[in-house]
Amino acid sequence: MRIVLLGAPGSGKGTQAKLIVKERQIPHISTGDLLRGAIADQTELGLAAKKVMDAGELVSDEIVLGMLKDRLNQPDAAKGFVLDGFPRNVRQAEMLEELLSELDIQLDHALLIQVNPDEVVARIAKRAQEEGRTDDTEEVVRNRLEVYREQTEPVADFYRKQDIVSEIHGTGSIEEVHDRIQAVFRF
Catalytically annotated residues:
13, 88, 127, 133, 144
Q: Could you tell me which stretch among 56-64, 73-81, 101-109, 166-174 binds ligand ADP (CB under 6 A)?
A: 56-64
x/- letters, 123..152, toward ligand ADP (CB under 6 A):
------------x--------x--------
Q: Could you tell me which stretch among 18-26, 57-65, 108-116, 154-162 binds ligand ADP (CB under 6 A)?
A: 57-65
**CA dist., res. 105 & res. 82, Å (int):** 14
x/- letters, 12..51, toward ligand ADP (CB under 6 A):
-x-----------------xx--x----------------
Q: Cis omega (within 30 of 0) on the bond before 87?
A: yes
Measured at the CA of 91, the angle between CA 98 and CA 185, to 5 degrees, comes to 65
**CA dist., res. 63 & res. 96, Å (int):** 13
By the rule CB under 6 A, 92 interacts with ligand ADP: yes
Measured at the CA of 112, the angle between CA 108 and CA 113, to 5 degrees, comes to 135
By the rule CB under 6 A, 88 interacts with ligand ADP: yes
Contact with ligand ADP (CB under 6 A): which of 39, 45, 52, 128? Answer: 52
| Sign of the dihedral through C-alpha 41, 42, 48, 53 | positive
